[in-house]
Structure 1
Amino acid sequence: MCEWLKLLRVKHWLKNLLVLFPLLFSGRAVQPDALIQGIVAFLAFCFMASAIYVVNDIRDAENDRAHPTKCLRPIASGAISTAPAIVVACVFAVLAVVLCIPCAQQTPLAILFLIAYAVLNIAYSFGCKNVPILDIAMLSVGFLLRILFGSAFCGIEVSSWLFLTVLSLSVFLSLGKRRGEIERFGTSARASLMRYDKSFLDKNMYVYLGLGLVFYSLWTFQGMDVAYLGYSIGQLALVAGIPLAMFACMRYSFCIERTASDGDPIGVVLGDKPLLVLMILWVVVMIIGVYMP
């Protein structure tokens, strides 16, 4: 069972919490029907993501066997054979689409975003990940598609500032992932890494970090519709989210530059207690900000 959980990358389902952002920030997450719909959307995306992870591991099995850490993946290590893995991937992909048909508010659009995510990641696995810049773009769009899928599934519009925030911070995290891989494994671990250098990644990381934090701040204040800060608990909580986001990003940068991290956002968050605390605090203040007057 543990090997199957590793193959399906259940730990990485945390990334798919982005699917719930439109619902959370709309203030409708306290409505039972809307919450159930959000949970179904989250599961549907998780099923598709796991199916893609399996395809990726099958595709990369030979290369993974030569990698210092990826050699422990279930397919590469031989713990799980290819045939049952393919069956599970197909079942999970079908389940993801089937869940959209009766449950999504905008079914065609939700399925379109889900299929777009699948096609994007298959293309990434089958060669695009070795093309510099294109690999960053595809990783970033993957994060963005989570937000758009959640929006279509739950029938909630996405704020333009939230869209720009997620896009910018997704590029920041994607660049950080490549930065972390170089720091930990060197440029020989992935073909595209040979074309990058740390200074290029650093400069671009902090451009998109700055943009993301500005967009996030504008999204925060846009929702207040006031010229000055008020003193309601909700407004103060929303504003408190800005410095928490700033220091969380700073801590992520610290981790990929100063520790033996490969830059994967989930691995960094779960492996660094201060960053994990910052993220939990941010979630708490955002819930207070959105759901308290």
Structure 2
Amino acid sequence: MEARGTLRRRNARVSVLCLGPRPFPPLAFLGVGDRRKDGRVARTFPFPFPRSLGARRRPQLVEVLDVLRDRNASVGRDAPHALLGTCPLADGRGGAPDRMKARVLVWLRALRVEQWTKNGVVMMAWFFSVADASQKDIVRGWRSFLLAFFMAGAFSLVSSAFYLLNDVSDYETDRLHPVKRLRPVAARQISRIAAIRAALVLFAAGFSYPALIVMLIPSRTLAFGTMLAYTVMQCLYTGVLKRVPYVDVATLALGFVLRAVAGAAIIAAYVSPWLLVCTFTLSMFLAFCKRRNELEVARESRAVLKRYHPKALNLCIAVAGLSSVGEYLAYTLRSQMGHRFPLLWTTSVFVLLGVLRYMHLAWGGGDVGRPERVLLTDRKLWLALLGYALSAVAVVWFGR
């Protein structure tokens, strides 16, 4: 089958030819890209397009885009042409609200809002302090919850800033990755200079909250210092450490520990060292699983992947996963919470089941390259999480 759309501009002709299941643009087609002063989009993807596109030619342009959109239904999600669905003019309307909505969606994808769930680690100290009799005064009421919640939001803004900087830094390598090449920066939906400017704004917004808390409550300075340490560490990771095998994973895991420490510092709560060590090893377990997935599906996308050995990664996954279970079990037996609730160790059964399920996905070809998506979509993991939550509530409720 063949479908052809044609757009005339002065004496030039731009043709977009669709053959088979994949649209093939000999020159270019319009999409979400750079904007001119009049608000219209003038460039898309790596293909150039005349910037002096007149408004009189828009009906023909929409006709071409409609042809591509219809053919796009049969294109796989990994194909860069599938991004045509984000074009604000592809629906035939192309008004200002549609263009604005498209740009907002593109920026939300660039900020990776779905990964903000990782910053839930900030709430860990508040969660475990609720059942701790010695810290009831700290977590009483909504004040401590809101302090920890907004601290998680501040970390979300800062982490999104680093996502943008990493996308700019890994621009060339991301374009070789089957999934990462669809990210807005790699797909040239967002320019690199715009991503850097947005990252600076996010840094300012993220640091404003702990700075304000320190001004109001000087004793919470540790929370601001922890976020500053996290920022410095992430800068080192972006510049140097992500190119060093195994050190890159340890750096990512340490970032989660700093999140947990900041969550405890903002509410002046005590967090068990066993929980911090468990957070570190569990984060390393998830990161090693992600590296193994990348080694299988996109070895050329990261230079550091060539220095990982599959058998060594499998060993690291097993050791980190089982170590995290052992450390959580030690927490339930040797911490103050364990002494107060003798049956708290039973919750470790569901922790073990969750880790074993994730191992099965990692070694069985699951999409563990995106942990946040696996945690939100895998039903068996949800059952393990539900079992842990119910057992923890039961132990605390009947142990009072």
Query: Structure 2 length as normaliser, TM-score?
Result: 0.66
The one-letter code matched in structure 1 to 2:191 is S
- The residue number in structure 2 matching 1:25 is 128
Q: Percent identity?
A: 30
Deviation at 1:78, TM superposition (A): 1.6
Provide the rounded CA distance (Å) in 1 between the counterparts of 2:223 and 2:141. Answer: 21
The CA distance in 2 between the partners of 1:31 and 1:180, in whole Å, is 43
Decide which moves more: 117-126 or 190-199.
Answer: 117-126
* 1:256 alignment counterpart: 362
- Within 1, Cα distance between the matches of 2:196 and 2:394? 43
Q: Indicate how the Cα distance of structure 1 residues 93 and 280 shifts in structure 2: closer, same or farther if over 3 A, else same.
A: farther
CA offsets 1:86-105 (integer angstroms, 9 cap, x no match): 23211211111110023366
Shift of 1:111: 1.8
| C-alpha deviation, 1:255, in angstroms | 0.9
In structure 2, which of residues 357, 371, 379 is the aligned counterpart of residue 265 of structure 1? Answer: 371
Q: Deviations over 1:95-119 (max 9, x none)?
A: 1111002336644321221122222
1:70 counterpart residue number = 180
Is structure 2 residue 252 aligned with structure 1 residue 139?
yes
Note the C-alpha offset of 1:224.
3.1
CA deviations 1:66-95 (Å, max 9, x no partner) are: 221111101111222233322321121111
CA contact (8 A) 2:346 2:391 kept: yes
Report the CA distance between 1:26 and its aligned residue.
Answer: 0.5
Q: Structure 1: give runs of 5+ residues left out of the alignment.
A: none
Trace 1:1-293 onto structure 2 (pairs within 5 A): 1-27=104-130, 31-103=141-213, 106-185=219-298, 187-221=299-333, 222=335, 223-225=337-339, 235=343, 238-290=344-396, 293=400
Cα offset for 1:260? 4.0
* Matched-pair contact (CA < 8 Å) for 2:176–2:301: no
Q: Would the aligned equivalents of 1:184 and 1:262 in 2 still touch at CA under 8 Å?
A: no
* Per-residue Cα deviation, 1:21-50 (whole angstroms, up to 9, x for no partner): 001100165621111111111111111111
Native 8 Å contact 1:140 1:171 kept in 2: yes
Distance 1:60 1:258, change over 3 A: same
**Distance in 2, Cα, partners of 1:53 & 1:284:** 34
Any conservation in 1 of the 2:338–2:345 contact (CA below 8 Å)? no
Code of the aligned partner of 1:158: V
Residue-by-residue CA offset, 1:187-212 (whole Å, 9 max, x unaligned): 32321111112211111222222221
Query: Given that residues 19 and 151 in structure 1 are in contact (C-alpha distance below 8 angstroms), is that contact kept between their aligned partners in structure 2?
Result: yes
Do the aligned partners of 1:183 and 1:262 also contact (CA within 8 Å) in 2? no
Distance 1:250 1:206 in 2: 9
Q: CA RMSD in A?
A: 2.1
Report the alpha carbon displacement of residue 249 of structure 1 after superposing the two structures with TM.
0.5
What is the CA–CA distance in structure 2 between the aligned matches of 1:283 and 1:5, rounded to whole Å? 31
Deviations 1:158-188 (A, max 9, x none): 2121122112222222222212222333x32
SS of equivalent to 1:225: helix
Identify the range of structure 1 (260-269 vs 193-202) with the bigger mean alpha-carbon deviation. 260-269
Q: What is the CA-CA distance between 1:8 and the residue it aligns to? A: 0.9
Tell me which stretches of 4 or more aligned residues in structure 1 moved more than 6 Å. Answer: none
Task: Report the structure, 1 or 2, having the larger strand content.
Answer: 2
Q: What is the TM-score when the length of structure 1 is the normalising length?
A: 0.88
Q: For residues 183 and 262 of structure 1, do their structure 2 counterparts lie closer, same or farther at Cα, with a shift above 3 Å needed?
A: farther
Q: Give 1 or 2: higher helix fraction.
A: 1
Unpaired stretches in structure 2, ≥5 consecutive residues: 1-103, 131-135
More divergent stretch after superposition (276-285 vs 214-223): 276-285
How far residue 285 of structure 1 moved from its aligned partner, in angstroms, is 3.7
For 1:254, what is the secondary structure of its paired residue?
Answer: helix
2:167 corresponds to which letter in structure 1?
Answer: D
2:252 partner letter: L
> Using the alignment, how far apart are the partners of 1:152 and 1:34 within structure 2?
11
Shift in Å, 1:284: 4.3
- 277-286 or 161-170: bigger deviation: 277-286
Contact 2:220 2:268 in 1 (8 A): no
More RCO (CA 8 Å, sep 6+): 1
Deviation for aligned residue 1:290:
4.7
Q: Deviations over 1:125-181 (max 9, x none)?
A: 223212112112111111111111111112112212112211222222222221222
